Amino acid sequence: MITVGVIANPAAGKDIRRLVAAGRVVSNQEKANTLRRVFAGLVSANVDRVLVMPDLSRLAAPAMEDVENQIEARYLEMPRIDHQDGSTRAARMMADAGAGAIVTLGGDGTNRVVAKGVGDVPLVPISTGTNNVFPQMIEGTLAGIAAGSVAMGVVGVDAAITRCKRFDIFVDEELVDIALIDAAVSTEMFVGARAVWNMDTVEDVFLTRAEPASIGISAVGSQLRPVSIDEPLGLHLRLGEGDGPTARSVKAPIAPGMVPEVAVSEWDVMQPGERRRIDRRPGTIALDGEREVTLLPNQVVEIALTLDGPKVVDVAHALRLLAPKIDTGE
């Protein structure tokens, strides 16, 4: 049975950055409409079954009603948990149920927690969050067609799937969390509102990629040394004033409508498998834009770059591969 999973985060696009920056607000109504388009794309791709993560806002309900007589669409048998652990659990259940692809609605943070449970199932991430380096700004119908084609195993479409990088966070040798795009060491002692928007509180930044056309903390790195999704390396930036050979001051869009000048005292490249120790105490580590790990005394905290991140589908590339090949005779 050809199966696709759908995980939509009701909280994506609604954090404190709407107050301190000019971040867009993606309403639940818009997310529900996006899901209706995703489901239409899945039907057109002849998918047999759609598994949906239940949520308290019932974002997928209108879409499920649309396709009631065309496709099997049902919620996973799990509690409706509007917490990140629910997304990880849902992804793991979808992978165990044989999903050939999982469509996500959210930002970098949403996809981070999904990646913790997805295994080798390719993700089709649609941007509805704030920091949107990992997910794509793509129309829902097209995302559904691409996800369905990947799940169907259409010949050639696997060329549009890329294995991403990630950072592993170790505390006393135990893997405690991951980051897909950036990990920022903050002087803030508490998780609080989670989102990072004041660069004066950030000491170190670790990046799996740094693309000039992205927004968020990774934009700082893009002004120093652009790094693409498939380049097998990362960056480590130490923020603050400095006079070393790599010291720079750059302007970067760290949040929607926020382009501050950021001083970088030094930076260098990280290689896959390389571990670096984080000595800041007390403090927190923000993962993909949100503070998640509290740094406590007497802990040994390390970060390592790995090439074994989640698989992601480039929707535009997949659709090009699906297009008929016309012999022009040239």
What is the CATH classification number for the domain harbouring 187? Answer: 2.60.200.30
Strand 166-171 versus strand 174-179 pairing type: antiparallel
Co-location of 203 and 293 in the same domain: yes
Q: What is the pLDDT of residues 231-261, one digit of tens each?
A: 999 999 999 999 999 999 999 998 888 899 9
Q: Decide if 56 contacts 86 (C-beta within 8 A).
A: no
Q: 329: left (phi > 0), else alpha (psi -120 to 50), else beta?
A: left
| pLDDT score recorded for residue 200 | 86
Co-location of 152 and 15 in the same domain: yes
| pLDDT score recorded for residue 83 | 72
| pLDDT score recorded for residue 21 | 53
| pLDDT score recorded for residue 193 | 47
Q: Give domain status of residue 12, yes or no.
A: yes
Q: Give domain status of residue 328, yes or no.
A: no
Co-location of 269 and 151 in the same domain: no
Co-location of 141 and 9 in the same domain: yes
Co-location of 18 and 157 in the same domain: yes
The CA distance from 77 to 310, in Å, is 24
Q: Give domain status of residue 327, yes or no.
A: no
Co-location of 33 and 110 in the same domain: yes
Co-location of 55 and 73 in the same domain: yes
Residues of the chain with pLDDT under 70: 12-24, 82, 129-131, 190-197, 325-330
The amino acid present at 87, given as its one-letter code, is: S
Co-location of 109 and 174 in the same domain: no
- In this prediction the pTM is 0.91
The CA distance from 266 to 247, in Å, is 5
What is the CATH classification number for the domain harbouring 160? Answer: 3.40.50
Range of the domain at 126: 3-164+310-322
Q: Decide if 273 contacts 308 (C-beta within 8 A).
A: no
Q: Give domain status of residue 107, yes or no.
A: yes
Q: What is the pLDDT of residues 273-315, one digit of tens each?
A: 999 999 988 899 999 988 889 999 999 999 999 999 999 999 9
Co-location of 235 and 115 in the same domain: no
Q: Give domain status of residue 68, yes or no.
A: yes
Tokens describing residue 179 = 């980051």
Q: What is the pLDDT of residues 110-119, one digit of tens each?
A: 999 999 999 9
Co-location of 191 and 284 in the same domain: yes
CA-to-CA dists, residue 222 to 109, 111, 197, 211, angstroms: 20, 21, 18, 5
* Domain count for the chain: 2
Co-location of 187 and 235 in the same domain: yes
| pLDDT score recorded for residue 23 | 62
The amino acid present at 101, given as its one-letter code, is: A
Q: In the chain, how many H helices and how many E strands? A: 8, 18
The CA distance from 262 to 272, in Å, is 27
Q: Give domain status of residue 122, yes or no.
A: yes
Q: Give domain status of residue 329, yes or no.
A: no
Co-location of 25 and 56 in the same domain: yes
Q: Give domain status of residue 154, yes or no.
A: yes
| pLDDT score recorded for residue 112 | 96
Strand 202-207 versus strand 234-239 pairing type: antiparallel
